[in-house]
Amino acid sequence: MSIISEYGQILLILACVFGVFMAWGVGANDVANAMGTSVGSGALTVRQAIIIAMIFEFAGAYLAGGEVTSTIRKGIIDPGIFTDTPHLLVYGMLSALLAAGTWLLVASMLGWPVSTTHSIVGAIVGFAAVGISVDAVAWGKVGTIVMSWVVSPVLAGTISFGLFRSVQWLILNKQDPFAEAKRFVPIYMFLVGFLISMVTILKGLKHVFKDSGFTLSFGESIMIAVAMGIFVALVGNYFLGRIKRDDRSDAENRYASVERVFAVLMVFTACAMAFAHGSNDVANAVGPMAAVISVINTGSVAAKSVMPAWVLLLGGAGIVVGLATYGVKVMATIGKKITELTPSRGFAAELGAAATVVLASGTGLPISTTHTLVGAVLGVGMARGIGALNLRVIGTIFMSWVITLPAGAGLAIIFFFLFKGIFG
């Protein structure tokens, strides 16, 4: 307790600095992946993708990011182990943030699309198992998270495969695909609006208005989400009305005009993916930071803590800065190197990934957005046959995933003993 009272202010500042550093890594690496499909398909320019991501990543992190943070903070390690030594939990969370942030910096410089969730979970398990005790780690919870790393790409790939198949059946394989696109794309836009609205209402309102006593029943939430979905479809339909058939382009490519319709749709799916990503992955940065703040403020690990709004703001700001300053370097890997993406394929990948992330975020499971998005792109590629996939690039991505966990753990162990040596 004396260490907390003596160095509390310094440790609090370090928590904020390392938390923002980790959030920067999330923005530079993970968000770049999330936006890669939009840029790779040609639906958005790099600048447009960054602007969309900045707005919706921040909104997702702030409005709907509170649910997942409790899993990162309390689920992976047993807080009871630290009852008599709360300062060790502080050292551990600081080392986890610094280790994960450092690894993301290295990976981003190399252009590797690694998992930020892998990085932070590996770092927390590393410091707890080696620095404290093997019993400090809730291995059952870690097993559930590891299982989600397999489930999430499979689920995202399945949803994206189904979505692209529906596009083929309803639009691309028809005699007049442009007319069918004008007819069915507003339905897909409705799904995007409904998806964003549901996660905002069920989680965002719970987080923002939890002290005001404002509540909505599940039925009321669905009605509002349906209304928002209709609104998004109407707005999208207005923009679709301005797209005219280009006979000259269609003569060279039968689907040229159709893909211009899907390019409009991809603006909406890019917003959904950014929002979903912000809601899930902000936990990787603010979860450990919130744990440090809670211990320093209360002097106790067992005390129930409330996620301060400014912590989510800090995490959201860090993600935005990371994307704006370094996101371009990683963006090409997902968007251009796994399989050839067009707006219609990119739409299926993005909406499938966003749906998976929203489902996971709603249940508090910290899945890897990178795994989810790669799974979604693979699903779209599989809809065109195995030959449409660049297996060498996929192999390199899988290798970087395997390295990430031990890299995060190893760095966290080193930093943990360093903090222990400095502060006692």
H helix runs in 241-342, sequence order: 247-252, 256-281, 283-298, 309-326, 328-332
pLDDT of residue 148: 74
The Cβ of residue 300 has, within 10 Å, a number of other Cβ atoms equal to 16
CB-based contact 423:3 (threshold 8 Å): yes
H helix runs in 132-217, sequence order: 139-167, 177-199, 205-208
Question: How sure is the predictor about 209, in pLDDT bands with cuts at 50, 70 and 90?
Answer: low
Q: For 167-180, write each residue's pLDDT tens digit.
A: 999 998 888 888 89
Q: For 82-101, write each residue's pLDDT tens digit.
A: 888 888 889 999 999 999 99
Question: How sure is the predictor about 203, in pLDDT bands with cuts at 50, 70 and 90?
Answer: low
Q: For 43-61, write each residue's pLDDT tens digit.
A: 888 888 888 888 888 887 7
pLDDT of residue 132: 84
280 has pLDDT over 80: no
Residue type for position 28: A
385 has pLDDT over 70: no
Q: For 12-51, write each residue's pLDDT tens digit.
A: 999 999 999 999 998 888 877 777 778 877 888 888 888 8
User: Of 83 and 72, which is predicted with more confidence?
Assistant: 83
104 has pLDDT over 70: yes
pLDDT of residue 335: 58
Angstrom distance (rounded) from CA 2 to CA 357: 42
Cα-flanking dihedrals φ and ψ of residue 389, to 5°?
-100, 145
Domain coverage including residue 319: 2-423
Question: How sure is the predictor about 213, in pLDDT bands with cuts at 50, 70 and 90?
Answer: low
Question: How sure is the predictor about 126, in pLDDT bands with cuts at 50, 70 and 90?
Answer: very high
The count of domains in the chain is 1
CB-based contact 338:121 (threshold 8 Å): no
pLDDT of residue 337: 63
CB-based contact 364:117 (threshold 8 Å): no
Q: For 281-320, write each residue's pLDDT tens digit.
A: 777 788 888 888 888 887 777 545 566 778 878 888 888 8
Q: Is 77 helix (H, G, I), strand (E, B) or coil?
A: strand
